[in-house]
């Protein structure tokens, strides 16, 4: 059973569901592109290093067994959630906090 693959799929669905619930609009920008590339580059370096050593070992029955260098392709799911979901959600929650502060009355 592909448990790790299923976990990544659920993380992506939950992340996109949160965006949908909060009606977060994803805005593609140069900052998003550079952030994604920076996270991908660091992921390639550190994930490859960790999975090349016996520190992290994946059960081949839990993954699709498609690898990028030494790590399974499923690991990119976290990158998708981090780059596409978290910035929009962060902006939405920060804007809500600011609007609550504007409408609050001081005693």
Residue 102 lies in a domain: no
Domain residue limits at 70: 3-96
pLDDT digits (tens, 9 = 90+) for 72-94: 999 999 888 887 777 777 777 78
Q: What is the mean pLDDT of residues 90-102?
A: 72
Does residue 107 fall inside a structural domain?
no
- The mean pLDDT value for 34-43 works out to 90
Domain membership flag for residue 38? yes
Task: Say how far apart CA 85 and CA 34 lie, in whole Å.
Answer: 15
Residue 23 lies in a domain: yes
What mean pLDDT do residues 31-55 have?
89
The answer on pLDDT for 106 being more than 70 is: no
Question: What's the number of CA atoms in the CB half-sphere (13 Å) around residue 52?
Answer: 8
40-49, 63-72, 88-97: range with lowest mean pLDDT: 88-97
Say how many domains are in the chain.
1
Residues 30-43, mean pLDDT to the nearest whole number? 87
Query: Is there a contact between 9 and 77 (Cβ–Cβ < 8 Å)?
Result: yes
Q: Is residue 82 part of a domain?
A: yes
* Model pLDDT, residue 102: 65
């Amino acid at each position: 059973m592909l448990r790790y693959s299923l976990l990544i799929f659920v993380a992506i669905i939950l992340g996109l569901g949160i965006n949908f619930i909060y009606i977060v609009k994803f805005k593609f920008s140069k900052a998003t592109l550079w952030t994604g590339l920076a996270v991908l580059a660091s992921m390639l370096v550190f994930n490859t290093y960790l999975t090349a050593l016996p520190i992290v070992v994946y059960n081949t029955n839990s993954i699709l067994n498609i690898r990028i260098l030494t790590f399974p392709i499923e690991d990119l799911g976290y990158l998708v959630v981090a780059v596409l979901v978290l910035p929009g959600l962060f902006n939405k929650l920060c804007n809500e906090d600011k609007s609550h502060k504007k409408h609050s009355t001081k005693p």
